[in-house]
Structure 1
């Protein structure tokens, strides 16, 4: 096979991998709270949304100790997806009204298998793409398409409140697990090399915290992840109360806008720079929560859709620009550690604490009442406003304390 034909084959295989990987996540992540609410587990929803962050915290240790040293990457991926499918497929058999501990345990086991695959699929892609900078975005966008496809399917099957979503996610995970064994052979990159504990705890990257702007960025990023956890865990309950029936499909509008703004990132980056883009991203979180608060009425669904559409700005301008800033602010020798440190504090610790804190806010706002009951729509603003204000305060702190100066020669290579 010629190099060109082989490269096209790799792009196709890796695109299928990305599609299924994010299809799995999208099949349950936006609708599990509705399932739990209808099964008498509404007060414990937030524990499900701590599973992903816990997986993000543990993933670097798994990858550093096992995946990078002993087993081919494609085999590790296959094993993780198959193991992850088991807990998803068994969840409906064990779960029932009020059995939130079983649901939480099954989701946690699944995410402990799933989260390490995010870094591994990226690494296997860059290993086998002839031009990773240009081709990886093409491969990665299929992940977003997979998430959208999952949401549309769940809504089409009216599965937001049923256990069918777990069967779909588990079946896709099992399928992807076996598919991974057909991916290009990828030997463990650090096979035979000694384990360096300091690499696992991002030892060298911590020195970047001596830079005031980097420290402000990490602290602000960590803090903003606390209120943003509410979007993933609870918006769908309000949408259900407002009479929006195709909740999973409706929330894919956010992923659609993510694609649009991702394509526009190079333009905005050149025009605005890091500080303004991150600030706009944080501001967008505050605005969307205000929209959700004002839109807590059966007649104001457009405000909800507008808030969902802001996801492209909220995610791309904040998370993606943040990754670009970390790349620019760190020396090439510690760049990987710096990115891992950023993910640890944002998608790990930040979203973990955010899920718990937002869960406490939710339970305090609704008490013994249900958030999916239309009669309780008037209580939703008391949930969203404190989170919107929190985002606003973090924005002010960031604007005053972040002193980064953009490099005019910097380019986006992400």
Structure 2
């Protein structure tokens, strides 16, 4: 591993260590320590979507035109460190919410910036980027393992004592470190207004013409709709596992990231052998099965169902969202590739997840009781919703040949 690859790998590790170090346990912390309602927890998670919607303006209007990407990355993570420390100090939801909203607005643009810094330094991104990006997944896994097995902050007694609050301090320190480290990264100058990375491309305006294709329109709408079940996992999985008594829930959830890496390797084989339609359908079916397993699993005899549900994350994410990115890239053509990816990202992580977190908050609140939640009912809703999307997609989408090269 050469020096540049090492530095980029450290950048990716810290980037996703920070995200995984607080976002996974956020719902548990808010419910247990700040007495937040289901609707309020949904509001907190929705800040990710607001960040995704606002991020293109920061990247498209500032980073791509006026400043080096690595410097913007550094500044955003330093601001993030301060906001994360403020979240650590917040004593109720009303005080916490403005900080998490501000944090997500500065964090979400960094996801595009770390990619920009990486791609600028690589001679063959299609072959080299995966080896660097995998360190991000490793960072997320390490954060979860530290919370569960090193510090035991997610143990029942520790949660009652407010120890999950320390995740924000841990991530504030990591954000400070990455903020400083970013200024040592290789220079990534702005592309300029005419380089094809402007706001039109990032927002996906030029890609709207793709929606004239019936197949792409069906895929596009399905992508937005499937984000509603997706939001249930991000928002409820950790509180659910913790509430029903699963030990080291955060550590066990890292099994999802391990499976993500493994199924990413299998994805090209599935696409080439079964085609895009069957691959996307398999991804949607995995969402249905995951939530059924969650609905009927438990911390004792049904723990295997829960672990299988967590492990299905690789199929859920890779076979729908990653294969969807490949499909979008193939449909777009050379001139509007960036615009097409921008359109899908804005529609899914922005609009789709925003709706999803709101729905998840309302459903969770509807099935809350004095002693906890009726989790079977909570999980059967996204299972049924994903099944409806699957059936509609299966009936209306016509299979296509998609290349996985380059």
Bin the TM-score by the shorter chain: over 0.9
Aligned mate of 1:394, from 389, 400, 403:
389
Residues 49-88 of structure 1 show CA distances to partners (whole Å, capped at 9, x for unaligned) of 1011111111111111111001011100000111111110
TM-score for the superposition, normalised by structure 1: 0.92
User: 1:68 matched to which residue of 2?
Assistant: 64
Gaps of 5+ in 2: none
Query: Counterparts of 1:180-259 in structure 2 under 5 Å?
Result: 180-190=182-192, 198-199=200-201, 201-259=203-261
Q: Is the 8 A contact 1:69 1:192 kept in 2?
A: no
1:273 CA displacement? 1.4
Measure, in 2, the Cα distance between the counterparts of 1:193 and 1:313: 35
Judge which range, 255-264 or 242-251, deviates more. Answer: 242-251
Partner of 2:153: 159
Cα distance in structure 1, aligned partners of 2:249 and 2:404: 38
| Equivalent of residue 316 in structure 2, options 314, 317, 342 | 314
Alpha-carbon distance in 1 for matches of 2:196, 2:350: 26
Q: Is the 8 A contact 2:76 2:106 kept in 1?
A: yes
Aligned runs of 1:1-400 on 2, under 5 Å? 8-39=2-33, 40-43=35-38, 44-93=40-89, 95-96=90-91, 99-155=92-148, 156-160=150-154, 161=159, 162-190=164-192, 198-199=200-201, 201-296=203-298, 298-371=300-373, 379-400=374-395
- TM-fit CA distance, 1:228: 1.5
- TM-superposed CA distance for 1:311, in Å, is 0.3
d(CA) in 1 for partners of 2:119 and 2:361? 38
* Separation in 1, partners of 2:105, 2:84: 12
Q: Equivalents in 1 of 2:405, 2:98: separation in Å?
A: 40
Describe the superposition over 1:370-391 as per-residue Cα deviations: whole angstroms up to 9, x where unpaired. 24xxxxxxx1111111210110
Counterpart secondary structure, 1:49: helix
Q: 1:349 to 1:20 in 2, by over 3 A?
A: same
**Per-residue deviation, 1:299:** 2.9
Distance apart, 1:195 and its partner CA: 10
Tell me whether 185-194 or 63-72 shows the greater mean CA deviation. Answer: 185-194
TM value normalised by structure 2: 0.94
Matches of 2:73 and 2:197, distance apart in 1: 21
Shift of 1:245: 2.3
1:336 is paired with a residue whose SS is helix
For residue 133 of structure 1, report the CA deviation from its aligned partner.
1.1
Correspondences of 1:400-411 after superposition (within 5 Å): 400-407=395-402, 410-411=403-404
Deviation at 1:90, TM superposition (A): 1.6
- Bigger shift: residues 12-21 or 289-298: 289-298
Number of matched pairs: 395
